[in-house]
Amino acid sequence: MPEKLGTLKAWISGINIKMFVFTAAVVLLLGMGYYLSEQHHQVEIEAEEESPLVEAGPPEIQDMRRYATIIGSVTPTEQRIIVPELSGRVERVHVEEGDHVEEGELLMQLEDEDYRLKRREAEASLQGARAKLEDARKGARTGKEVEAETSVERARKAREQMERELERVENLHEKGYASEQELEHARLQYENAREQYRAAEAYKDTVEEGAREEQIDALESQVERAETGVDLRQRMLNRTRITAPAQGEIALVDAEEGELVGTTSPALVMLDPDSHQVTGGLPESYVNRVDKGDTVEVSIPSAMESSFDALVTNVGQLPPEEEGDGYPVEIELDPEIEERARAGMYSEIKVVLEERKDVVTIPQHAVVRERGEKGVYTVDRVEEEQQVEFSPVTTGIACNGTIEITSGLCENEIVVTEGFEEIESGINVDAVKVGERE
């Protein structure tokens, strides 16, 4: 009996162990199933979170301009180049570069002794001509014959001297050392001397034979010529004094005391210090796109922090003197800006080359390439999902990071502007408004 009881206990104990093992196995399997289910659910969540985040928005309708920027500088609006009216040696320069001068102020004095002597000579000739005319009108007087002969001889020598002077000036003119004005002056001197000689002979005849009407006419003509000669000598004397034609600032002095100056090269340059403009050079490819009256954007960093609009007052018609200079363009400045500008200041000029009104535009970086084709990514809503598609486009002008879309995109479409580096056509995305992507 005790042996049977022991056997029964052993059997029950075996059953208990098997039940424990079975129960443990069931619990383990259930736990693994729950774990795998949770893992699967987590994978689905993570799969949903992997949709790329992009920024997107509709195109903007606006005006577009394409600019070209050229380099310019501030220059005086009025520039006066002063060239002597006669050649001569500089006696004294009265101004220096940078001096402010008033209208009529003496700038430079040429040696004038020769011109003073010629004026006195002309005055003496005038007095003599008037005396001869007076004598002719009164008739011949005793003792005038010798004086008349002396006058004829003096007039003959003067004529010969002026003839030699004329030949000298003609030779200088042929070589380019004398101006047309100096040549004309020499010819007039010779004509005066010749007329004086004729008048002296007429006076001699008058003294010897008595004045005739035609002889008196000749003497009156001689007086008029002598008066003209005095005026001419005075005018030439005045031209040795080079004065300021208007108030301004001396920009250049290209002559020194003792130096010989001519009538073909500038001796001084004057500027108007209160009147400025901006000038630049337009390349040949731009010159026909800019006209007088156009508005351009100008910046003068040394005078103003911001740029401003200004009016084109002139576009040069002559080709540039040197390669790379460009066709000259002049731009007007407002008085307020003129007060702050100074000659020589650096400037930039933005000219409009093309302009479009009310065009479809997007950020320039939103135009990408897929498989060698240029286009944009647009966002479409497929049921509850957002999907991107690649749309080929053609572009127009671009400016300041914005580009015109001429075809392939409607104004109501949504364009990806950020995050498109991680996407491709056909995938789902999570699109947010521009500026909301972290």
CATH 3.30.420.140 holds for 53-63+358-433 = no
d(CA 427, CA 370) in angstroms, rounded, equals 14
Domain residue extents for the chain: 1-46, 53-63+358-433, 79-109+241-270, 112-238
The mean per-residue pLDDT over the stretch 414-436 comes to: 82
One-letter amino acid at 350 equals K
| β 415-418/402-407 pair status | unpaired
Residues in CB range of 22: below 8 A, 6 or more apart: none
Residue with tokens 């001197």: 189
Identify the burial level of 30 via C-beta atoms within 10 angstroms of its C-beta, where 0-12 means exposed, 13-18 middle and 19 or more buried: exposed
Q: What is the CATH number of domain 112-238?
A: 1.10.287
Question: What pLDDT shows up at residue 43?
Answer: 45
16-41 pLDDT tens trace: 555 655 555 544 555 555 555 555 44
- pTM tops 0.85: no
Question: What pLDDT shows up at residue 437?
Answer: 60
Neighbours of 207 (CB within 10 A): 24
Radius of gyration of the chain (CA): 51
User: Which 3-state string (H, E, C) describes 267-288?
Assistant: CEEEECCCCEEEEEEECCCCHH
Higher pLDDT, 332 or 264: 332
Residue with tokens 């049921």: 383
Residue 407 pairs with which residues in a beta bridge?
A: 394
Tell me if 340 sits within 8 A of 307, measured CB to CB: no
d(CA 172, CA 127) in angstroms, rounded, equals 32
Scored b (16 or more CB within 10 A) or e, 279-306 reads: bbbbeeebbeebeeeeebbbbbeebeee
The helix/strand/coil state of 66 is strand
Residue with tokens 């521009």: 434
- Indicate the fold that domain 79-109+241-270 takes in CATH: OB fold (Dihydrolipoamide Acetyltransferase, E2P) (2.40.50)
pLDDT band at 375 (very low <50, low <70, confident <90, very high): very high
316-360 pLDDT tens trace: 887 766 666 788 999 999 888 888 888 889 999 999 888 889 999
Question: What pLDDT shows up at residue 45?
Answer: 46
Residue 241 pairs with which residues in a beta bridge?
A: 109
Query: What is the overall mean pLDDT for the chain?
Result: 81
Is the pLDDT confidence value at 419 over 70? yes
